Amino acid sequence: MSRSSLSVTAHPRTRWLWRLLTTTLAAALLAGAGLAAASPAAAKTYDPDLWVSAVSCSTGDDGAAVLEYQLFPGDTWTVTGEGYEVTGTIAPADRYGELPLEGLAPGPYSIHFVSGDSDVRREFTIEACPPDPGIAVTSLACSTDRSGSAVVTLSGLDAAGIVLYEVVGPDFSTGGSLDEFDETEVIELGDMPPGNYYAYVEWQPFSGEPVPPSPTYDWVGFAIQPCQPDVAVAVTECSTVGGTSTAVVTLSNLVAGVEYLVWVTDVGAPDGTAYGEPQAVIADATGAAELTFDSLPGGREYSVWIDGEWEAIPPWEEPPFLGNGGNFAPLVTVPLSASADFSTQPCPVPVTPGPTTTASTTLAATGTDGLGGALIAAAALLGLGFAALSASRRRRTRRG
């Protein structure tokens, strides 16, 4: 029997089995490829590495650094130093990243990590921070000319170097190098004019020591205030009818070169009518003056006022240092004023003469009430009788 030449169509069940076999084979190939990619041999497409960055200095135990890594899951790492050790293992999702290292003291440190066949050691160093000097100023007394004073406090000084300082203001400059010093030094200043100042401190390493990358210094602005005036009043009271009193005004704490205006009004009325002309005075180095106000009516209460204004000369110019100098707000103008109350006693009043009286002769009273008068009259008559008798005897004697 001859073979048929007609085409044979595959049974549907056979076609389905063929597709299942093909799909299963493809999935197996893909799974194999994924496992191969996940294996360490396939994953190591880069070199493992670990290093530090952002290394800071340390003043004792406050140094810091950032540990950056490019490792594989399961790799271990360790950082050690004197009295310091941290270690860790890389998690599957953390092949790249960074970790902070804190609490580092000055000194050398070692990095050690193991990755596959690699066993790597590296070193880094935490440097000691250069000294961080500080400066502060406390003003002690105001100034009328060169009478101001202040205290300068230097802190954070290191004996392994040189300390320089300076204080500069209007017509004032002092400073230099400290030969011997402790960690904190206090410097007293005097003879300071009123005005704006700055104080500066700098630490320098000894010759041969590594120089810090930037100056280690601090500065602060401060002011010596001009003094406010003081006023005292002495009164010469009115001593005559219709007269006036006089007030002698003594001024002190006047700032040299400032012009002051002084006037007298009724008590508590600075803008009221002045008694007499206001008087001007320009203060000298003594800081004192004396003024007289006369023609003041007696029996009144008064106030004496003094008013002036100090101006900073020269104007403040911030020095070319980094930082804000303690956020100093410089003086520009300062009002200088004061007042004092006083009173005057009333002037004497005129004396008004009283009524005049004339003598009169009155007869002696009679009766019991007039007994005293009668006795006085009898005594007078008796005296006259004795006088007449004596005169008669003297005449007879002369005749005989």
Sheet holding 172-177, edge to edge: 172-177, 161-169, 195-205, 216-224
Q: Are 330 and 223 in contact (CB under 8 A)?
A: yes
pLDDT of res. 176: 95
β partners of residue 152: 137, 187
Residue linked to tokens 């104080």:
199
For domain 230-343, give the CATH number: 2.60.40
Structure token pair of residue 320: 């070319």
Same fold, 134-224 and 230-343: yes
- pLDDT for position 45: 59
Question: Topology of 134-224 in CATH?
Answer: Immunoglobulin-like (2.60.40)
Burial label for 321, CB within 10 Å (0-12, 13-18, 19+), is middle
Residue 247 pLDDT > 90, yes or no?
yes
Most confident of 118-127, 170-179, 367-376: 170-179
User: What average pLDDT score do residues 23-44 get?
Assistant: 45
Segment 125-150 shows an average pLDDT of 94
Alpha carbon separation from 355 to 349, 358, 360, 362, 395 (Å, rounded): 19, 11, 16, 21, 50
**What's the average model confidence in pLDDT over 220-244?**
96
pLDDT band at 348 (very low <50, low <70, confident <90, very high): very high
The confidence score (pLDDT) of residue 293 equals: 97
**Measured CA distances, 16 to 10, 22, 25 (Å):** 10, 10, 14
If one compares 62 and 207, the residue with the highest pLDDT of the two is 62
Per the model's pLDDT, the better-predicted residue between 138 and 388 turns out to be 138
Token pair listed for 53: 């960055």
pLDDT in tens, 296-313: 999 999 999 999 999 999
DSSP-derived secondary structure letter, 66: E
Domain boundaries, the chain: 49-126, 134-224, 230-343
Q: Cα 198 to chain center, whole Å?
A: 14
- Segment 264-280 shows an average pLDDT of 96
Count Cβ atoms below 10 Å from residue 286 Cβ, excluding itself. Answer: 11
Structure confidence at residue 78 as a pLDDT band (50, 70, 90): very high
- How much is the pLDDT for 268? 96
Percent of the chain with pLDDT over 70: 75
**What value does the mean pLDDT of the chain take?**
82
Q: Does residue 129 or residue 355 have the better pLDDT? A: 129
Q: For the residues 29-48, what does the mean pLDDT come to?
A: 49
At 84, is the pLDDT very low, low, confident or very high (cuts 50, 70, 90)? Answer: very high
Distance separating alpha carbons of residues 215 and 202, to the nearest angstrom: 7
pLDDT tens sequence across 327-340? 899 999 999 999 99
pLDDT at 74: 87
pLDDT surpasses 90 at 5: no
- How confident is the model at residue 299, as a pLDDT? 95
Contact 285, 301 (CB under 8 A): no
154-172 residue pLDDT tens: 999 988 889 999 999 999 9
Q: Which two tokens stand for residue 394?
A: 């003297």
Q: Has this prediction a pTM greater than 0.85?
A: no
Q: What is the mean pLDDT of residues 260-282?
A: 97
The amino acid sitting at 362 is: T
Query: Domain 49-126's class?
Result: mainly beta
